[in-house]
């Protein structure tokens, strides 16, 4: 289950909380928290936007994570490097492959939304408008 990228790197989908925890630990960022929130959102009725989020890890030839992406409604919404740093420009080709490639195990087409130069939002800032699961449950 992977999508080949550039220079031997490849994308894998993060499918369970343990893998998301490992990704967060290795990359020194908080994607696991957002992954768990998306999992909780899948149990909310009516469904909320974050419930359809998918998470991907870009791995190098040694299977070490080098970047993490979140897609929502068929678009790459977040791209993170180590310690919440921007993965651009170093991994822009890899993101284009994720964005434009047909993911073989799901058949979903993704579009890349590049962050404006010098205006890359960190994980918390980018997800803030999307997180609404807890509020939805209370309604």
Q: How sure is the predictor about 13, in pLDDT bands with cuts at 50, 70 and 90? A: very high
**CATH number for region 2-134:** 3.40.630
List the chain domain ranges: 2-134
DSSP assignment of 17-30 equals: HHHHHHHHHHHTS-
pLDDT tens digits for range 70-120 = 988 778 899 999 999 999 999 999 998 888 764 444 433 333 333 333 333
pLDDT tens digits for range 26-80 = 999 999 999 999 999 999 898 899 999 999 999 999 999 999 999 887 788 999 9
Model confidence, pTM:
0.72
Q: Say if CB 81 and CB 87 are below 8 A apart.
A: yes
pLDDT value of position 57: 96
Residues β-bridged to residue 55: 14, 70
């Amino acid at each position: 289950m992977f999508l080949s990228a550039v220079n031997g790197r490849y994308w894998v989908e993060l499918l369970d909380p343990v893998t998301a925890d490992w990704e967060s630990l290795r990359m020194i960022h908080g994607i696991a928290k957002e992954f768990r929130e998306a999992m909780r959102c899948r149990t909310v009725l009516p469904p909320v936007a974050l419930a359809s989020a998918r998470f991907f890890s870009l791995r190098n030839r040694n299977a070490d994570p080098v970047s993490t992406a979140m897609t929502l409604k068929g678009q790459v919404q977040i791209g993170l490097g180590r310690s919440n740093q921007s993965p651009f420009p170093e991994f822009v080709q890899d993101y284009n492959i994720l964005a434009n490639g047909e993911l073989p195990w799901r058949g979903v087409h993704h579009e890349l939304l590049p962050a404006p130069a010098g205006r890359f939002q960190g994980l918390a800032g980018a997800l803030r408008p999307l997180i609404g699961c807890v509020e939805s449950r209370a309604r």
